[in-house]
Amino acid sequence: MENITSQNRIELLQIADAVAREKVIERDTVIEAMEEAIQKAARSKYGAENEIRAEIDRDTGEIRLFRCLEVAEEVENDATEIPLPEARERNPEAQLGDIIAEPLPPIDFGRIAAQTAKQVIVQKVREAERERQYEEYKDRIGEIVNGIVKRVEYGNVTVDLGRAEAVIRRDELLPRESYRQGDRVRAYIYDVRRELRGPQIFLSRTHPNYMAQLFAQEVPEVYDGIIEIRSVARDPGSRAKIAVLSNDSGIDPVGACVGMRGSRVQAVVNELQGEKIDIIQWSPDEATFIVNGLAPAEVSKVVLHEDAHRIEVVVPDEQLSLAIGRRGQNVRLASQLTGWDIDVLTEAEESERRQEEFRQRSQMFIECLDVDEMIAQLLVTEGFSTVEDVAYVGESELSGIEGFDEDVAAELASRARDYVDRINAELTEKRRTLGVTDEVAEIEAFTPRILVTLGEAGVKTLDDVADLASDELRELIPDAGLSEDESNDLIMAARAHWFEDEDAPEGDGEAEEAADPAAAETPTTEGAD
């Protein structure tokens, strides 16, 4: 590289071909880098103010240098511009704004110029290589790749993938897993990003999708799409749960993933350093899916709370430790797998809690309706949980309860309505004391109790409600059980007056003034005589 012009021209092209093959980039990219390097060296000889272009003939390797001059009416810079008359001496068809290329003699590279050119070429080739790596791997997120460990620094493993380098960060490795230079490693591409030092390819061995891809490699039915992996939950290196669904009624998804004598699942277990895997049948019914997800524990009863996306699971006393798992692992993985919060109770705990709820509700009816214990217990047994239920359910339904006649039903309904009216009156008075406006109270979904809660939180006017976000409103009044759509509708209803103000005609004030007889001009009496 000491004297690039003395190189055999064909040899120059051979160098470009060799670099392109080694770095797996386009030959043209290498030649363009060489041209840029020659241009930089030529500027240092002829002056940096000149606009110099270099061309390398792609077939012969011949190097040509040109100084580019723009045709201008008035020349302000001799180095980059040429007057129109002089340009037409060289090219009779030259027009203003055209570029005239003035040939320059080839230059001999000195040591410093050659070194600068080499640095430019290396830099350009490196940039092209990085761009090629990014373009190649950006669409491969979600694939499993194999590589060789190049180096290990602070627990982070750099992996040579052959045509690129990737990194496995320490927290993406399995616990107690260590690698040394030269080891083979298999991992999952979960991200590819452009960074200052080139594209960064991030690999993981703990990602849930890594396990799903391993099953796709080991189980042909998963690869072909006959069996779907619906969700995966992992405690990397320890235990995992995977939910599968078959699109073919004749194929058992769990059996297909386990394989003959467990051969298929064992191959995945071995790759994950002995991580135990529970394969579970996915079900569209949430309760069934959650029960399956808690396997191997047996579940005797479930209670779904859909608004809170929470489920209570009742298990036999002796199954409690199995359902929860060591350090809560089993219930935690089942929760991740299903997307539900899971509370595990024993049958004894559930029975005790049910008895306590029964006692509290009975006591509430005794105090609020001034009835004896037997009537209160009958109401609770029939499913009544609040005084409002008794007040508005209808006397015919109350009289249908065994032991109640029409008179008893009418009296209970009357007492319940009186109690509700009294409480609502107290809450309305408190609401007004808090400063919650009547306009807010007119919103149908806001009960007196909710209005007091809003007032205590500082939400007192329509504008206060209108300024809330949907999740803020639901957090303020969780007992209302509002869905996101319902809370959005309430907020939009509170904002309605904003748009009414905007739609009011601008001339309202003038119209009112004209309509006022007192404001009308008094007729003149001149000339009446």
Start-end of H helices in 272-405: 286-293, 320-324, 329-338, 347-369, 373-381, 387-392, 395-399
């007004």: which residue's tokens? 432
Element (H, E) at 234: strand 227-235
Q: Note the pLDDT of residue 520.
A: 43
What confidence score (pLDDT) does residue 510 get? Answer: 46
d(CA 28, CA 70): 27
Helical (H) or strand (E) element with 89: helix 84-90
Q: Which residues share a beta bridge with 345? A: 314
Domains and CATH numbers, the chain: 4-133 (3.30.1480.10), 138-204 (2.40.50.140), 435-503 (1.10.150)
Give, for all 529 residues of the chain, the pLDDT tens digit. 434 444 456 666 777 777 777 767 777 777 777 777 777 777 777 777 777 887 777 777 777 788 777 777 777 766 677 777 776 767 777 777 777 777 777 766 555 555 666 677 777 777 777 777 788 788 888 889 999 999 898 888 999 888 788 899 988 998 888 888 989 999 999 988 887 676 788 999 999 999 999 999 999 999 898 999 999 999 998 999 999 999 988 899 999 999 898 899 999 999 898 889 999 999 998 889 988 888 888 888 888 877 778 888 888 888 888 888 888 889 999 999 998 888 888 888 888 888 888 888 888 878 887 788 888 888 878 777 777 777 777 766 777 777 677 777 787 878 888 888 888 888 888 888 888 888 888 887 788 888 888 888 888 888 888 888 888 888 888 777 777 788 888 888 888 777 765 555 554 544 444 444 444 444 443 444 3
**CA–CA separation, 130 vs 164, rounded Å?**
9
CA distance 383 to 386: 9
pLDDT at 178: 86
Distance CA 234, CA 205 (A): 11
**CA distance readout (Å), 380 to 275, 374, 386, 474:** 49, 10, 9, 29
Tracing tokens 């809450």 back to the chain, one arrives at 427
pLDDT of amino acid 116:
62
